[in-house]
Every structure is written in structure tokens, then in C-alpha cells.
A and B are shown apart, each in its own frame.
Chain A
Amino acid sequence: MVELYLKVAAGGLLIGTVYALIAIGLTIIFGVMRVVNFAHGEMVVMGMYLGYALWTLFAIPAIPAALIAAVVLFGLGVFLQVTVVSRFVGRPQHSQFILFIAFALVITGLHLMLMGPDARSVMAPISFQTYSVGGLRLDAARVQAAATALVMILALVAFLRFTFIGRAIRAAADNPLGAEVVGIRSGRVYAVTAGIGLACAGAAGALVSPLFDAQPFLAPEFTLLAFIIVIIGGLGSLTGALIGGLLIGVAEGFAALLINPAMKSMFSYGLLIAVLLLRPAGLFGGREAR
């Protein structure tokens, strides 16, 4: 029994790291632009399909595929930001919401047309492999995905801290007007931010492609999952998203084990409601975001 609990905890932490990467993509866009990407899950699924396609066509494994997906989605993010989203920054929320719903529909439509409605699974040996760590069997794909996600998160943090554009992004997130005043061009900052946000989603999607089957209808689940994590961690906070991701990963695992797997996300929504009401800035501090 102890082994099972340990396994669930470890599995939850591992997948939670990938969830955190997804959530960071969402939170960084919101932090800088105050725009909520309701099509985030669709971007994750796009990453999954890229992971699937790269493996199936060119036998490129998940980790390099994640890098490629990050680059592709970065480009898509910049493109969407420059052409469409920029006009919606500062518009009322419902208007932004519909914009992203439209994106979600278009992307889902494209997925359906290109990949069909049935689930696509990466048929790689890694899907069946495990690592044994101190008597604990851990999925190889999961360990690799978590390690890569963690490296990507650290790289992103370093980027935000040590590069000029990274610091500009942080400045814009802290104080958009101030950033503009000191001469940080918000257009470029926004474009890079949107790119990074989508790159996170895409990379995470490619990383989980050996674990989860790619399917267009998974997208809303990912979007809501990212929301829950981001709110629990504090909207706009990277550390919060990381801890929130780990927390949700583990909590869902234990909810499935102890209560009822079909009801596990109810637990997450309950937590979300409690956090929204009681600690809207998130469980782990962060800025007061109201």
C-alpha cells in the first residue's frame, strides 16, 4: 500500500511539473497583457499533434520534438499577437473571451480536418518503458517529460531575469504604463510574451504526447486545468504556477486513489472555488491581482 501511495505521489509530482509548464504559459500572457487565453488547451493539443507527427514521420523523440514545438508555437504566438490579439488588449473581457473561443474553434476545426477525430497515440517503445528508482517503478516518458519541463521552466526564469527583453517583460507585467514611460515598446514585449506563452503550451503538449493520446477534444480539459493551477498559484506568478502545478498533480492522483477517479476534477474545482473566495491572490502570495 505504501508503495502505491509513493507511486501516486511521485507520478503526481512528475506530471505536475508538466502541468506547471502549461500553466506558466497562461499566466505569463495574463501577467503582461491582462488577456486570458481561453484557447490555451488547444495550443497544448497542437503541441501533442506536433509530437505525434514528428515521431510518426521522422522518428523524432519527445524531447527534441518539444523544442521544435516550442519554436513553432512561439512563431504562432507572435503571429497571432501581431495580427489579431494586439487589437484586443484592453478590450472588455467578454470580447477577448469570444476572440479566444473563435481561435479555439478554428484550431479544433483544423485539427479535425488534418488529424481526424480519433485519438492519435505515439507508438514508441518509451510508452511501455519504466525506470526503477529504489524499488519504485516510474514511467520513463513521465520522468523525461518532467525533467525537460523543469529545465524549460528554469531557462524561462533565467531568460526573464538576465536578458534585456526578459526584464522588459517583467517590467511590463509589474507596471504596463511605467514600462511604456521608460521607453519599453509594449508591442514587441507583447509579441515575445505571447510567443513564450504559446511555446510553453506547445512544448508541454509535445512532452506528454507519448503519455496521453492526442485528441482535439482534450483541449478544454487542459484549459481548465491551467486555470485552476494559475488561480491557485496566483494569477501572474511563475513560482505560484510551479507550486500549483505540483499540488494539482499530486492532489488529482490522490483524489483518484482515495475517492473516485471519475470525480477527481471535482476536487480541483472545489479547491478553485475556495481559493477564489478566500485567497484570490493565490495560495502562495504573489501580487494582489484584483
Chain B
Amino acid sequence: MTCNPAVDRRTILKGATAGAALSITPLRHVRAAGTPVKVGVLLPTSGVLAFLGQACRRGIDLGAKMMAENGAPAVEILHVDTESKAEQGRVAAEKLIREGCSVLIGAFDSGTTISAAQAAEAAKVPLVVNIAAAPQITSQGFKYVFRNFTPGATLVYNAVARIKELSSLTGVSPKTAVLMHVNDTFGHAVAKGVDILWQKLNVPIEIVDTISYSRLAKDMSVEIGRAKAAKPDILMPVTRVNDAILIVRELVKQNVELFGVIGPGSPGPYEKAFTDATGKYGDEYMDCVPWYDPTRVKTRRAIAAFAEAYPDQRFELNVGFSYEAVEIVADAIARAGSGEPGALQAALRATNLQDHIMYGGPITFDETGQNPNIGGVLLQNQGGTPKVVGPAEIAVAKPVFPMTPFAER
């Protein structure tokens, strides 16, 4: 059935080798004895998540630069793009491991992270998760996965605590809420967490409607119309960036009157793209997320260095957690004293970083590989930038609640 023996096979092989040579070249780096430990970074720097992936990459690069300045052991960072595709995680991880990486950082998106984790686990190379909220990442029995980010449930737990606190802080008690969430991996996990915890923690705010919308929603007029009809005191949107912008626009156009908009664990409203696009209407939008601790010296140093390196960008949580991932890896390499993956895994397990930039307790990892000490803050956009308004110990501004009606801005 295969016609033509030699020529065809040779042609195929020739093509394959040519492709191989071209494809491998840019990734091959000169390797010599005693060279720096190779750290592989998987991020979605193209595709739907590219915007966020690139923010993470800035955090990684900044982290690597600052670690080097602080005299940490030399590392070599290898970046691979996962194209925002879950199945690409495994291929990318295998590629990096093959390139000699003894520890991986990644991968922003939960699906990609799990897919990469399978490869890392098989090769016994540790994976430090910078961002990814799916609970499965630390509940599937991985031994080489360490996550310094809050899983969906904790994210919501912290958010609920902040929302409860808000009433006592301002003396305004909202009674009803509408939960809106984007129907993607992340939004789904958070919304589910809200449902469960709301009952468990006995929150005195009734959720009168839950509205989920597509990841590619172009327009939110009906969704906001429906939310408005439920007449809630607060709106709780779990969004990405674009949909948060669309929500604000619709709130303004439909003149929805609310005590406040509070995103439980929602990415987006703290992004520069959001505050730029919504201007004054984006102000007083609140969000409960893990965030950097603005009171620490280390944080201020990192922010200053970031502002210098990327004057047009904002230092936010994607940057922060990616930065911390590098810090965690650098610390483990220093303690392990070698770039051997097994030693690094042991060192990572014993991690105990007291002084770091994100709000919360020391960075440690429990037996599932999860850092249980990550806190959550209440952010509010004020004057076009996100300000920490709670908890009181690290707040830099006072919350405005209830918010100024849109019509009066």
C-alpha cells in the first residue's frame, strides 16, 4: 500500500529533520558544567489569556532580576508559551524538562497547569504554581506540585470574610445580592465556592439571583437588565477584564442603583485596562482578591523596580504571584544547594518564607502542596487606581460604601 519506498520515506524523514532542526534551535542553550539552574516557565503569552500571561511574564522577569541583584544563586529562565490551550501544558512541560529544567513555574490557567503537572509528576520535576485556582490541582495527589495561590474555595472564603467585615466597617448592611459569573473554568469554580460557603458561613445577605454568562460575551445588556430587575443591594460579579468593563457600562446606561459592586475573588477590576476604559465610572468598584501587602518594605521595593522597568504597566496580583514564584524557587535552590529536581522538591516542601510581598502569613506548603497562609484583601478603585481598603491592618484608604450613584458622577 505504501507506494514508493525509498523516495517517500526519505522525503518525509528529510522534512521531519529539517523541521526538527529549525524548531529546536531557538530553544537550545549552551550548557556547560556548573552553569545556573534552569527554571522553566510556562505561561499563556499568546491566545485568549495572553494579556494576563504577559503580565505574569513581567512578574517572572522582574523576580529573576531582583533575585540576581540580591545575590541569590544564578538561575536561567526558559520561557515557553502555552498558547492558552490546556493540552499544550503537557507538551510545553515536557519540552522544558527535556531542555534540562529542574524546576518549572506556571501556568496561570488551571487546565494547562493540571496538564503540565502530569508531565512534571511523571518526570519527577517540581512545578511551582504561580496562579491557578482549580481545587483539583492540589487534590489529585500530585507530589511535585506546589501552589502559592488560593484555590477557589479559599478565595471565596477570604472574600466572604471581607464582605462581612465591610458592614461593620461602614455601618451599612446590604440585604440582597445578585451573583454574576463568567462561565469559564475560573468563574465556574468561584461561583460554586460562593454557593457552598454562603450557606456554611451563614452570610446575612440573600443571593436573589445567579446569572452566568458566556466567556465570549460581547454585550451584557440583558444580563444587567435581569440583575436590575432583581433589585439587589449589591452586585457580585466574578469577571475577567472585558466583561467587568461591559458590566460597568451597562450599570451606567441602565442607571442601576446599588450599595456597591463587589467582585468575590474576581480578576479584572484592578487591571489598568479596566480603570482606563471605565474612568470615573470604574471608581468605587470593589474586589476581594489576594493582593500584595502595601505596608511591607519588600513590596515597595518590588513596586518601585517594576515601575522603573515597565512604566506603562500596573503591578497587580498576576505580577505579584509570579514574582513570588521566582522568589520561592530561588529560596529553594539556595537551601537545596543543588539544581537536582529531587533535592529541590524536598527543599520546596520545607519552604518557610517569612518576608514576602503578598498579603498573608509565611509561605509554607502543606502535604498537598498548597500554601494555606494566603490572605485576601478588599480593594476599591479610587481615583483610577485600586486601593486596599480592608482588612484594617494593611488598609491604605477608607472604603466608600454605599457608592456614589452613577448619575451623580
Tell which of A4, A123, A221 touches B218, judged by Cβ atoms closer than 8 Å. Answer: A221
Stretch of B14-22, B96-104, B219-227 that contacts chain A: B219-227
Which residues from B are CB-within-8-Å of A15? 219
Can you list, as one digit per residue, whether each of B170-189 has a CB less than 8 Å from chain A (1) or not (0)?
00000000000001000000
Q: Decide if B254 is an interface residue (CB 8 Å cutoff).
A: yes
Which residues from B are CB-within-8-Å of A34? none
Q: Decide if B229 is an interface residue (CB 8 Å cutoff).
A: yes
B253 touches A129 (CB 8 A): yes
**Bound CA span A116–B281, Å:** 25
A118 touches B249 (CB 8 A): no
Stretch of A93-101, A226-234, A254-262, A273-281 that contacts chain B: A254-262
Tell which of A117, A213, A217, A218 touches B246, judged by Cβ atoms closer than 8 Å. Answer: A213
A139 touches B253 (CB 8 A): yes
Q: Decide if A112 is an interface residue (CB 8 Å cutoff).
A: yes
A11 touches B221 (CB 8 A): yes
**Bound CA span A264–B242, Å:** 19
Question: Are A118 and B241 also in contact (CB < 8 A) when A127-B249, A257-B225 are?
Answer: yes
**Bound CA span A279–B213, Å:** 30
B222 touches A137 (CB 8 A): no
B226 touches A256 (CB 8 A): yes
Can you list, as one digit per residue, whether each of B82-116 has a CB less than 8 Å from chain A (1) or not (0)?
00000000000000000000000000000000000
A137 touches B253 (CB 8 A): yes
B222 touches A261 (CB 8 A): yes
Can you list, as one digit per residue, whether each of A109-138 has a CB less than 8 Å from chain B (1) or not (0)?
000100011110101000111100000010
Which residues from B are CB-within-8-Å of A117? 46-48, 50-51
Tell which of B218, B223, B281 touches A218, judged by Cβ atoms closer than 8 Å. Answer: B218
**Bound CA span A117–B213, Å:** 21
Tell which of B50, B211, B276 touches A123, judged by Cβ atoms closer than 8 Å. Answer: B276
Tell which of A1, A8, A119, A208 touches B273, judged by Cβ atoms closer than 8 Å. Answer: A119
Q: How far is the CB of A42 from chain B (nearest CB, A)?
A: 15
Chain B residue with the shortest CB-CB distance to A261: B213
Residue among A15, A130, A212, A262 with most chain B CB within 10 A: A262
Tell which of B214, B242, B246, B276 touches A265, judged by Cβ atoms closer than 8 Å. Answer: B214
Question: Are A264 and B214 also in contact (CB < 8 A) when A137-B255, A213-B246 are?
Answer: yes
Q: How far is the CB of B339 from chain A (nearest CB, A)?
A: 34
| Chain A contact residues: helix, strand, loop or mixed | helix
A262 touches B246 (CB 8 A): no
Q: Decide if B330 is an interface residue (CB 8 Å cutoff).
A: no
Q: Decide if A253 is an interface residue (CB 8 Å cutoff).
A: yes
B212 touches A262 (CB 8 A): yes
Question: Are A8 and B183 also in contact (CB < 8 A) when A118-B273, A119-B241, A264-B214 are?
Answer: no
Can you list, as one digit per residue, whether each of A208-239 has a CB less than 8 Å from chain B (1) or not (0)?
10011101011001000000000000000000
Which residues from B are CB-within-8-Å of A118? 50-51, 241, 273
Tell which of A7, A121, A142 touches B225, judged by Cβ atoms closer than 8 Å. Answer: A7
**Bound CA span A261–B220, Å:** 9
Which residues from A are CB-within-8-Å of B394? none
Chain A residue with the shortest CB-CB distance to B409: A128
* Chain A-chain B contacts (Cβ-Cβ < 8 Å), number: 95
Q: How far is the CB of A211 from chain B (nearest CB, A)?
A: 6
Q: Decide if B216 is an interface residue (CB 8 Å cutoff).
A: yes
Q: Decide if B217 is an interface residue (CB 8 Å cutoff).
A: yes
B213 touches A262 (CB 8 A): yes
A218 touches B216 (CB 8 A): yes
Chain B residue with the shortest CB-CB distance to A215: B242
Which residues from A are CB-within-8-Å of B222? 8, 11, 253, 256-257, 261
Which residues from A are CB-within-8-Å of B273? 118-119
**Bound CA span A181–B395, Å:** 80
**Bound CA span A129–B223, Å:** 18
**Bound CA span A129–B249, Å:** 9
A211 touches B50 (CB 8 A): no
**Bound CA span A11–B255, Å:** 16
**Bound CA span A129–B254, Å:** 10
Chain A residue with the shortest CB-CB distance to B221: A11
Which residues from B are CB-within-8-Å of A215? 242
Chain A residue with the shortest CB-CB distance to B271: A118
Question: Are A212 and B219 also in contact (CB < 8 A) when A128-B252, A137-B255, A256-B226 are?
Answer: yes
Which residues from B are CB-within-8-Å of A262? 183, 212-214
Q: Decide if B245 is an interface residue (CB 8 Å cutoff).
A: yes
Q: How far is the CB of B252 from chain A (nearest CB, A)?
A: 5
- Residue numbers of B with Cβ under 8 A of A are 46-48, 50-51, 183, 211-214, 216-219, 221-223, 225-226, 228-229, 241-242, 245-246, 249, 252-255, 273, 276-277, 279, 281
List 6 other contacts, CB 8 Å, given A213-B246, A218-B218. A117-B50, A212-B218, A213-B218, A217-B47, A257-B226, A260-B212
